[in-house]
Amino acid sequence: MKKRKIFWGIFFIAMAMIVVISKLGILPDVGVFSILATVFLLWMAADGVRHRNFYEMMCAVAFLCIIYDKPLGIEALTPWTVLAAALLLSIGLSLLFGGKGKKKRKIEFEWNSDGSRGIGSSSEQCSGEQIRCENNFGSAIRYINSDNFCKAYLENNFGSMTIYFDNAIIQGDTAFVKIDNNFGETILYIPKEWKVQNELEHCFGNINEHGKAVGTSNAVLHLKGETNFGYIEIYYV
């Protein structure tokens, strides 16, 4: 989060300088808005590559095509054809290559002792020490029932996913939840007795906390990941 704040601070300072310089006639005759948008979208594309976030990458490329459709000779394709193609490409690439953090996910989520994974793809009840829940389009509700909850990976794309942790027990000192939320809403219901370390990040979205974690237990829940063009809502119950 600190790195993002540093970047945005430098970004806005640079943009202020560009706006002033453009009025002095030093820069080529290009609109200030186009310059600002181009710099931002190039950063957005690079950030998508770094995090293997195909939605972020394709969205940036699509808007760059829209801004420069005349020089590229693709006016007939903008804006809706380009946006639709970007959306479909994002979905296809994410399905083929697993989206961002695929390698990390393999390391973080190993097989449970009983030889299975707690995957909540069709059942509303999810159990196990390590749980994975995915939702693509539509809505899903998952209830985590675990006597020894350790890790969970939650992925939501173009939909709404609600996760209840009130029946989960953390036996150790720490547990981890990794969230990838893209163009949708992920809602978490977390016991207020847990200590919560919120390390979530957002790009064109919001992270909202409702209530307060009182932290009376020794267990610490680490929330990691980010939301892109969507929301993460956290309720302490």
Q: Say how many Å lie between the first and final Cα of the chain, rounded.
A: 26
Give percent of the chain with pLDDT exceeding 70. 76
As a whole number, mean pLDDT of residues 164-172 equals 91
- Which of the residue ranges 23-32, 94-103, 199-208 has the most confident prediction, judged by mean pLDDT? 199-208
Q: Residue 32's pLDDT is what?
A: 64
Mean pLDDT over 151-157 rounds to 91
Is the pLDDT at 136 greater than 70? The verdict is: yes
Cross-strand pairs, 141: 162
Question: H helices then E strands: how many in the chain?
Answer: 6, 11
Q: Which has more confidence, 137 or 186?
A: 186
- Given a cut of 80, whether residue 39 has pLDDT beyond it is no
pLDDT reported for residue 30: 57
Contact 182, 158 (CB under 8 A): yes
CA distance 161 to 154: 9
Please tell me the predicted confidence (pLDDT) of residue 234.
94
| Band (233; pLDDT cuts 50, 70, 90) | very high
Per DSSP, the three-state class of 52 is coil
More confident of the two residues 13 and 201: 201
Return d(Cα 41, Cα 57) in angstroms, integer.
9
Q: Of the spans 45-49, 118-122, 165-169, which averages the highest pLDDT?
A: 165-169
Please give the pLDDT value at position 2.
Answer: 52
3-state helix, strand, coil in the chain (%, to 5): 35, 30, 30
Give the predicted TM-score (pTM) of the model. Answer: 0.60
In Å, how far are 12, 150, 202, 207 from 231, measured between CA atoms? Answer: 24, 24, 8, 6
Domain-wise residue ranges, the chain:
2-97, 102-236
Nearest-angstrom CA–CA distance, 52 and 96: 12
Indicate whether 119 pLDDT > 50.
no
Q: Reply yes or no on whether the pLDDT at 164 is more than 60.
A: yes
Between 158 and 133, residue with greater pLDDT? 133
